[in-house]
Structure 1
Amino acid sequence: MTNGPIRVEREISGVRIAIETGQVARQAGGSVILTLGDSKVFAAVTAGKAREDIDFFPLLCDYREKNEAGGKIPGGFFKREARPTTKEILTMRLIDRSIRPMFPDGYKEEVQVLTHALQYDGKNNTDVAAMIAGFAAVRISGLPFDATLGAVRVGRVDDEFVVFPEDPVRREESTLDLVVSGHEGGLAMVESSAKQLPEEVMVDALECAHKVILEVVSLIDELTEKVGKPQAEFNAPAVDEALKAQVFEREEAMTTAVRTQGKQDRHDALAAIKNECVATLTADCDGDDLGARTKTIKNMLHDLQQHVERECILSGTRVDGRAHDKIRDITVVPGFIERQHGSALFTRGETQALASVTLGTPDDEQVIDGIEPEYKKSFYLHYNFPPYSVGETRRIFGPGRREIGHGMLAERALMAVMPTREQFPYTVRIVSDIMESNGSSSMASVCGGCLAMMSAGVPVSQPVAGIAMGLVKDGDREAILSDILGSEDHNGDMDFKVAGSGVGITALQMDIKIKGVSRELLSTALEQAREGRIHILRKMLEAVPGPAPEVSDYAPRMETLKIPGDKIGFLIGPGGKNIKAMQAQYSVRISILDDDGNVQVFGTDSTQVKACKDAIEASTQTPEVGTRYTGTVRSVRDFGAFIEILPGVEGLCHISELAHGFVGQVTDVVNVGDEVEVEIINVDDRGKVKVSHKVTLPGGEEGESDGGDRRDRGGRGDRGGRRRERSGASD
């Protein structure tokens, strides 16, 4: 084993990747600093003692983006990072889903894989870097790990795959965002969003990803060899073969039980067998022996149930009697909650999602802030999985990692068909509440969410459906399952969720527990998933043929307009005075979208919304010669009247422009507060406005007022003549 800093480095697909160890966190079981481009991520792995009081592997994977990595200071009162962001949680899940299957069955030592971003270069995202760093730290730690893992991100620009795409390219140009982990034996985990790509393109992308993963694996193996730490051996507890034989005597009864129709009835039948088995085989035990033997028997019963279910599937018929490619019965109830902006109840077998859509304003956009540049989301989906959906009780907390992950998968599936802001200026929020669950609740959220959006009048470019698939493989025997149950998910060798339209795939998620899944098998599985997806889409379109032509009566009304950019300040007013007054007067919300002057007005009353729009247009338009207004006299002077033609804009109507004949005093024609029609006759370089009332009167023509100043008007006409006559008479 080598002491001191160790570094390995190579260029992979045009990106420099370096891994260092031995300089920091030397008391951890394994620690590395990984550099991808100029982004850096730290990872450390530690292990505790085995816990015999549990029947699961206590693995914790954590990822954090420290604000200093992006040159930022956290907001808020405490100026410190708090709970993990959605991106951090999703990255934790990417690491966990990749690593967990690689530890041996029965391993119960507490393992922590902690990663955080040290530096972000603005191009190379730190999520995949954290995955590779975590895999490397585990590999050099000496823990009993089945294989070296690698990870990669693949994009697609101009029909060409791009490996480790830079963030600006990934966000703005790529039609694919694919994150894959794997080993020499194949793929381990897949997470992807796409813009309706064909199945074969996805298979090609996975094949491209695996080739790059092998290079990453080679780099980590080079580091592992230089570190030279021996890998610990794990010896699984000895199996009591005699006791196992007694438990497996109930295989026939277990087979009958697992074929019981209905989730709850099946659960009761299985519980009866398990209770009988435990009671019979522990009759002679007491004290500590009773607890230990009971636990052993329950583990064996779990293995027996798994064996029986897999054999049922491989023999041709699933536990609920369906063929491998059969989809459960589907029912759709659009508009299930009448006063919501859009809703749908989607039921597939014993899985049910109630999806609700709420339409909001640009002010309702979600602000995403982290080490990357801040941006806003006008579409987001929240997924809830309450305990009653599976007939259980548990403490109620906020959304867990699983709920965050499932919600984001459904959101990505629908994002590809969302209209642009120009096509549909609303902010869209979907909430999917799982009312029942027996497999594939995230894909039910995709179906329900799409139906709810169409019910709400969101003009999606294509309807989208999702389906959960499974694979059971034993030697040469294999079965690809459509629309899997919860138990088939648990007992299978691969589960994958595919969402998309009739055009192509919009989201893909895979968790692969075995090695050696061939390209042909992946292609067959994705084709079967496509057929199932098309079947589900047909059922959905029977209930909701397309987006509603208009938004719900309960949704906010919206009007869009554009004002001159230099009028934005006037619309807002000092301290927001003007915009607040308008919002209060018309009971609306006004959103200024950008510095170009694009404005949206939202409200529940379409009449008020339209009136507010008209008022904004009137108050922000630029006065032009020849335009007529009905204005209000604001003040009177000897030489004329000042008339407000627009909010905050007054024009001078000279006494000579008040009427055709002689006007002795301004107040002979108008007084303060009068409403009069005027026409703009001049706007000078300083923006001063002159108006005429007489050209709007019968017999008035635009030619009667030239719009110039007084010295340009020549003689005084009638008024001058009359004064001379009066002057002569007095003489």
Structure 2
Amino acid sequence: MTKTGRIEVPFGGQNLIIETGKMAKQSNGAVTLTCGGTVILATVCISRKPREGVDFFPLMVEYQEKTYSAGRIPGGFFKREGRPTQKEILTSRLVDRPLRPLFPEGFYNEVQITATVLSSDGENDPDILAVIGASLAAHISDIPFDGPVGAVRVGSINGEFVLNPTYAQREQSEFDLVVAGLKDGVVMMEGEANEVPEAKIVEAIRYGFDHLQPILKAQNDFREQVGIEKTAVPLFQPSEELKKKIAQLTKGRLTEIYNIDEKEQREEALGILLDEVIGDMSAFEGFKINDRAVTPSNIKLIFDQIEYDEVRRLIFEEGKRADGRGLKDIREIGVEAGILPRTHGSSLFTRGQTQSLGVVTLGTRKDEQMIEALDGLSYNNFMLHYNFPSFSVGETKPMRGPGRREIGHGALAAKALRAVMPSKEKFPYTVRIVSEILESNGSSSMASVCSGSLSLMDAGVPVANAVAGISIGLVTRGKDWRLLTDIMGLEDHFGDMDFKIAGTDKGVTAIQLDIKIKNIALEILEKGIAQAKEARGIILQKMNAVIARPKDDISKYAPRIVIVQIPPDKIGEVIGPGGKTIKKIIEETGVESIDIEDDGRVLIASTSNESAQKALRYVSGLVEAPVIGKIYDAEVVKIANFGAFCEFLPGKQGLVHVSELSDKYVKDVNQAVKVGDRFKVKVIEIDEMRRVNLSKKQAEQAASPSL
């Protein structure tokens, strides 16, 4: 029978209510978490048998936001939830990353975790609840899991740390940091910051770590109440004898191979050696794994473990890495800017065998990304899209849409650059950066930060400072450990940590920690942050040597946005009935678009400066009040027996009486002027009915006072 239970625990300024036994009772573990008016349901299920032919833990995490949770009906034709949104994908990754290292090594059963938002109050972000809920569901279940995981969000307002800030508080905070951890260390971090000094980031990590401990205790207490006994599942655990046998077959050649600096040559040599090892499977007769004969895929997994040992031996015993670098050395850096002639901004950033082509496109308000979320529609005017084609690693794969990894890397790079972006008031453009990864051998997301920063400057976007990113790795052996600056692909694969930190010369703008061991001590993280700062300074010097500040002007191929301020009560006059007036302005001037904001700011976008200025004069004229004594350019629009009606401001007409057409006698108006004639007029009277009387004669006299 399913056990029921309920506990409450302080959670920032509110209480977190944890319950089980009411919903989803056929899953291996299920809990509901309530904070304020936000409720999530977290479940976990496991397959009966290990998945065949895999060399990784097949964990699937699905975070879902149901629109009914916010009292809304989905848009679109079908009126139901569709493919995952970016927020759902990023939150799924946020849940996955701290939990994955805590399942047993060699565990190949499929595990699926779901976190579903059932109610949303618009104040409390469900993402932290999803992490805690997923941890709890796994912790109280019968699935092997070395948790639980606690998670909190940390902000800072007016110099004071805020625990689990609401959406409104996060708008005021100088950083947004998620910390997940265990009793002895941190297991995952994710955050963005407004150029915050490293010392304060370290303080925030410690603050978050201290305040997630009560969440851990609550989970352990809850398991004591309702948890069930863990099930023994088959793990891939080859015997030491089999591992020694494969190591003997390599005959020390791995050491020679890992003295090859070039990635392609090294991988080719490894492939040849592996083929030799599995070429004669008779050498492994008599060996079994989980009472089954050894297969070539088993040998590949063990070969991978032997590589793992050799990479660490090089680092700990020789102080050297596979490509010959020292532990703090950065790969060779190449920086170019302005390499694509017709784009609005471009750059090429190369670090070793990782290369990112950054391209910036400037757009108008109509190019903003519409985001449909639980709290309604919003618009995003800054985007960074990350593309990882298969040729970047010399492989052949179908070219499909972005996966979770691409979306996650793009979001991290966007966080790193968002802190230095100008306000919409200062730079009213929509900005899209695309990072094309042309080569990859580790840290491509941090290369995207660098290429993105360079291309923004090349595009003339007035960013506050240059931004660079670096990844710090870690290898451990017992209680001993080494930090690695600028990790490459195999160090990411065989290492214990990928700690990405981006920022300017003033401070941190983005941070992301992923690990493969159970947790990382705060001391190691603090030293990693300091090591990243040192490396970032070197990279920024290289970047600034090529382009140190934004160009003075945007590309001639980019749309130009001209801004004019009008009184808010005049907005209707510019738009016109049914948008008639504004459409007319666009058609007559040839501009791309005209957008009007509620405060009266009019944004005119055009690739032609002449068209933009023409539209600017038109809009200014629409809201301008005629002034007695002022001279205007006018055009005859209608002729009457007693004079000519002229448009002297957009949408504003006045009468030039026949007596004011010339200083000479005019018998017939049609002989003096024709429809379409243009000349200067002077406003001589505005009557009580706001009718305007004009004078061509007096305007000419003013222009030639000697006459």
Q: 1:19-55 CA distances to partner (integer Å, 9 max, x unpaired)?
A: 1111111111111111122211111111112223322
- Contact kept in structure 2, 1:359 and 1:428, CA below 8 Å: yes
Q: 1:305: which partner in 2?
A: 307
- Contact kept in structure 2, 1:187 and 1:512, CA below 8 Å: no
Q: 1:265: which partner in 2?
A: 265
Matching of residue 240 in structure 1 with residue 239 in structure 2:
yes
Distance 1:161 1:477, change over 3 A: same
Structure 1 counterpart of 2:298, which letter?
T
- Contact kept in structure 1, 2:586 and 2:594, CA below 8 Å: no
SS of the equivalent of 2:464 reads coil
Partner Cα distance (2:460, 2:624) in 1: 33
Q: CA deviation at 1:406?
A: 0.2
Partner Cα distance (2:420, 2:87) in 1: 22
2:591 to 588, 604, 610: 588
Partner Cα distance (1:619, 1:504) in 2: 47
1:565 to 554, 564, 568: 568
Structure 2 counterpart of 1:695, which letter?
Q
- Contact kept in structure 1, 2:187 and 2:520, CA below 8 Å: no
Q: 2:501: which partner in 1?
A: 498
Partner Cα distance (2:703, 2:200) in 1: 73
Paired residues for 1:627-646 under 5 Å: 627-646=630-649
Partner Cα distance (2:437, 2:598) in 1: 42
Distance 1:596 1:244, change over 3 A: closer
Q: 1:184-238 CA distances to partner (integer Å, 9 max, x unpaired)?
A: 1211110010011111111111111111211111222222222131222345355
Q: 1:533: which partner in 2?
A: 536
- Contact kept in structure 2, 1:557 and 1:604, CA below 8 Å: yes
Q: CA deviation at 1:319?
A: 0.9
- The farther-off stretch of 444-453 and 64-73 is 64-73
- Contact kept in structure 2, 1:352 and 1:444, CA below 8 Å: yes
SS of the equivalent of 2:563 reads strand
Identity of aligned residues (%): 43
- Contact kept in structure 1, 2:5 and 2:20, CA below 8 Å: yes
List gaps (5 residues or longer) in structure 2. none
Distance 1:284 1:108, change over 3 A: closer
Q: 1:415-468 CA distances to partner (integer Å, 9 max, x unpaired)?
A: 111111222222111000100000000000000111111111111111000001
Q: CA deviation at 1:75?
A: 1.3
SS of the equivalent of 1:600 reads strand
Q: 1:338-388 CA distances to partner (integer Å, 9 max, x unpaired)?
A: 211111111100001111111111211112221024222211100000101
- Contact kept in structure 1, 2:2 and 2:21, CA below 8 Å: no
SS of the equivalent of 1:577 reads helix
Tell me the TM-score normalised to structure 1 length: 0.91
Aligned residues: 699
Paired residues for 1:508-523 under 5 Å: 508-515=511-518, 517-523=520-526
Q: 2:389: which partner in 1?
A: 386
Give the CA RMSD over aligned residues. 2.4
Q: 1:330: which partner in 2?
A: 333
1:488 to 491, 496, 501: 491
SS of the equivalent of 1:229 reads coil
- The farther-off stretch of 664-673 and 113-122 is 664-673
Partner Cα distance (2:651, 2:147) in 1: 74
Paired residues for 1:101-180 under 5 Å: 101-171=101-171, 173-180=172-179
Q: 1:606: which partner in 2?
A: 609
Partner Cα distance (2:332, 2:494) in 1: 23
Partner Cα distance (1:684, 1:27) in 2: 83
- Contact kept in structure 2, 1:282 and 1:294, CA below 8 Å: no
Structure 1 counterpart of 2:47, which letter?
G
Distance 1:686 1:212, change over 3 A: farther
SS of the equivalent of 2:188 reads strand
Partner Cα distance (1:251, 1:327) in 2: 32
Q: CA deviation at 1:120?
A: 1.4
Paired residues for 1:208-607 under 5 Å: 208-234=207-233, 236-237=235-236, 239-249=238-248, 250=250, 252-282=252-282, 292-315=294-317, 316-515=319-518, 517-607=520-610
- The farther-off stretch of 609-618 and 574-583 is 574-583
- Contact kept in structure 2, 1:593 and 1:599, CA below 8 Å: yes
Distance 1:277 1:668, change over 3 A: closer
- Contact kept in structure 2, 1:558 and 1:603, CA below 8 Å: yes
Structure 2 counterpart of 1:6, which letter?
G
Q: 1:729: which partner in 2?
A: none
Q: 1:131-156 CA distances to partner (integer Å, 9 max, x unpaired)?
A: 11111111122211002111111111
Q: 1:555-598 CA distances to partner (integer Å, 9 max, x unpaired)?
A: 22332212333443333334433333333333322232412221
Distance 1:211 1:114, change over 3 A: same
SS of the equivalent of 2:252 reads helix
Partner Cα distance (1:686, 1:167) in 2: 53
Q: 2:678: which partner in 1?
A: 675
Structure 2 counterpart of 1:314, which letter?
F
SS of the equivalent of 1:393 reads coil
Structure 1 counterpart of 2:79, which letter?
K
Q: 1:42: which partner in 2?
A: 41
Partner Cα distance (2:479, 2:676) in 1: 93
List gaps (5 residues or longer) in structure 1. 703-731
Structure 2 counterpart of 1:322, which letter?
R
Distance 1:450 1:672, change over 3 A: closer
- Contact kept in structure 1, 2:184 and 2:521, CA below 8 Å: no
Tell me the TM-score normalised to structure 2 length: 0.94
